[in-house]
Structure 1
Amino acid sequence: MALARQPIRDAIHRVMTTDSTAVPKQEICGILALNKPKGITSRDAVNMIQRWATGLRLGHAGTLDPLATGVLVVCVGRATRLISLIQELPKVYRATFLLGRSSPTDDVDGEITIHEGAVPPTLQQIETVLPEFTGRILQRPPVYSAVKIRGRRGYEWARQGTPQLPQPRPVDVYELKVLRYEYPELEMEIRCGSGTYVRSLGRDLAENLGTRAVMSELTRLAVGRFTLEESVDPRTLDERRWLEYLRPPIVAAQHLPQLRLDEASLRGLLHGQWPRCQEELVPGQKAAVVDQFNNLLAIVEVQKGSRLKPLVNLATPAH
């Protein structure tokens, strides 16, 4: 088993400089950071890439509603196996809420009710309650959400006229910061973990202040190390240009310790065995197995006795 292989950029170069039909599609594997435009679904954005990536599997890690813009991470080829890992990464959002208003969807896409008697909170009052919504908190997802309730999505129940209240669930909110407040507009930056609904944060924050709120704008600024500044509008791409933005799978695992295994251990790992790790890692910790070119070969989880449990295998048959 050869442990070395050329970096993914070499395969991409061959696709871009030769007849793409002559290059095996399975060589194309990577991650795109898209800047999703407003007014389309996340699937619509993926479909824009699918036109050029025919025959390749594509998937996105973390849905953005049509109202929202910003970072949408799209995995291509074998990198789709990393979607669950990317979904676990922390997110950063910039959101605008309109106070003194409510809607069934908790945003401006629903029918808005203006509460004329609502008392505008002061900036000091808003900042005083922010600590109550940071850390590990219990949050009730919106009625219109993809959360499953008795086998069906929340939005499916709501659209048929029988809305169901989802059960509160724990989420992590690392930081809340007021960027601008000009009543009724409240603009905030939110750093949070997976599964956090920004609409719900605005709704609950307003209720704590004795008023109501709907979200009017949302931009995802970052997913882990995938940032808005490095993202590309899918509407600007074409059959060749999309490959220029394809990043190697290792970028999804840069937050993990990196391991290089000897040939026997790597062979065993890629065949489902649990080799021992020579590094001192904590049981339960995830790590990235890489080759000498820094290509990502696998994601593992450290077990007792320094055993490495394979979670994701990205290696090609050449390995």
Structure 2
Amino acid sequence: MINGFINVLKPPGPTSHDVVQTLRSILKEQRIGHGGTLDPMAAGVLPIAVGRATRLLEYIQAGGKTYRAEFILGLKTDTQDLAGQILARPGCSGFSLEELQKAALRFTGTITQMPPMVSAVHYKGRRLYELAREGQEVKRPQRLVKIYAFRILKAWPDGAFYRAMADISCSKGTYIRTLGADWGDYLGCGAALAFLIRTRAGGFKLDEAWTLEEIQERAAAGDFSFLLPPVAALTHLPAVVVKERAVKQVLNGTPLKDDDWNLNTPLQQGQLVRLEGEDGHLLAVARVTAGKGGLYLKPDKVFKEKE
């Protein structure tokens, strides 16, 4: 049985689910899932879990992501990108890089977003994009997201419009198309997403990603060098080394006292950490909890990597 993660370079066109289905066919394994939806038009990093590693997908999805995006200023569409119907073509005479960056700073930190109708958010048992295809529009609650950085790299005129390229670092649940549309509205001309590539998702990076063609070729030759160990999904979590005498406790889900582990960095209540044995094998993901006598590590999800 295959277990681990694959850092897939998703091409524009297929959905994230299409990628999962392709890999199920290539690897002859049904237990496969992805670590965060990437829109069909978008390309870039799509973490894929195989086998028991699917139990760790939620920890990837909770991690931060980075993108490179190109927006067309002076254009508004019903999908907030170039795939939708044009709502308005106000155009724009252009902005200085300083003006664009100053406006982008208003959309950093914790902000509110309304999920677009073309998103995969569930509404009464159905995806919003399914309702959008039927011409329906429903009321969506706004959500809080974090934009850690929104940096404008360059901008240039394009006929009646203006284009801008940006690097964006954000929390899970952020819609880049919506960020661009809101930014464009603030600038007074609207904006539509023209291009998007995800450059990082958690610890998975673009320059280390594999194309589906490369994966198929390697797998056919019996070469699974593209498969990463389960711990690859948890590199953003502090590693805590569990003393040998306490390993059995972890595997039984029993909280650990502070004399059962080794870690030089102070821990905070509520923090997630990964627990490893002295041999480096992943044991569990645990949450720091407070109790009598100090802090404890309560296993959140046990993962017997050696199985």
Structure 1 and Structure 2 fold alike (TM over 0.5): yes
Aligned positions of 1:123-134 closer than 5 A: 123-134=97-108
AA matched with 1:46? V
Displacement after TM superposition at 1:242 (Å): 6.1
How far 1:317 moved relative to its partner?
7.3
Aligned residues: 292
Conserved? CA contact 2:35–2:60, under 8 Å: yes
Distance 2:12 2:179 in 1: 21
Identify the match of residue 116 of structure 2 among 135, 138, 142.
142
Which stretch of structure 1 is more off in the superposition, 178-187 or 92-101? Answer: 178-187
Which is bigger in relative contact order (C-alpha 8 A, separation at least 6)?
A: 1
Q: What corresponds to 2:33 in structure 1?
A: 59
Which residue is 1:227 aligned to?
Answer: 205
SS at match of 1:222: strand
Give the counterpart of 1:297 among 271, 283, 305: 283
- C-alpha change, 1:117 and 1:195, in structure 2 (3 Å) is closer
Counterparts of 2:223 and 2:42, CA distance in 1:
22
User: What secondary structure does 2:54 align onto?
Assistant: helix
Structure with greater strand share of residues: 2
- 2:97 paired with 1:115: no
- Partner of residue 151, structure 2: 177
Deviations along 1:57-103, one digit per CA (max 9) or x if unpaired, are: 11100111110000000011111111110011111100011111111
**What is the 5 A alignment of 1:23-62?**
25=1, 28-62=2-36
How far apart, CA to CA, are the structure 2 residues paired with 1:317 and 1:123?
Answer: 53
1:274 deviation in Å? 2.0
Q: Check if 1:269 corresponds to 2:255.
A: no
Instruction: Give the RMSD, CA atoms, in angstroms.
Output: 2.0
Paired residue for 1:236? 214
Q: Which runs of 5+ in 1 are unaligned?
A: 1-24
8 Å CA contact retained: 1:49, 1:242: no
Classify 1:309/1:248 alpha carbon distance in 2 versus 1 (closer, same or farther; 3 Å): same
The answer on 1:309 being equivalent to 2:287 is: no
Q: 2:137 aligns with which of 135, 154, 163?
A: 163
CA–CA distance in structure 2, aligned partners of residues 196 and 181 of structure 1:
23
Question: Which 4+ stretches in 1 moved above 6 angstroms?
Answer: none
For the residue of structure 2 that corresponds to 1:215, the secondary structure is: strand
CA positional deviation for 1:155: 1.6
CA distance 1:293–1:124, shift in 2 (3 Å): same
Which amino acid in 1 is paired with 2:56? L
How far has the Cα of 1:118 moved from its partner? 4.5
- In structure 2, C-alpha distance between the alignment counterparts of 1:86 and 1:174, rounded to whole Å: 17
Q: Distance in 1 between matches of 2:306 and 2:280?
A: 17
Q: Distance in 2 between matches of 1:185 and 1:265?
A: 57
| One-letter amino acid of the structure 1 residue matched with residue 11 of structure 2 | P
Question: How does the TM-score come out when normalised to structure 1?
Answer: 0.85
Q: CA deviation at 1:116?
A: 4.2
Tell me whether 197-206 or 253-262 shows the greater mean CA deviation: 253-262
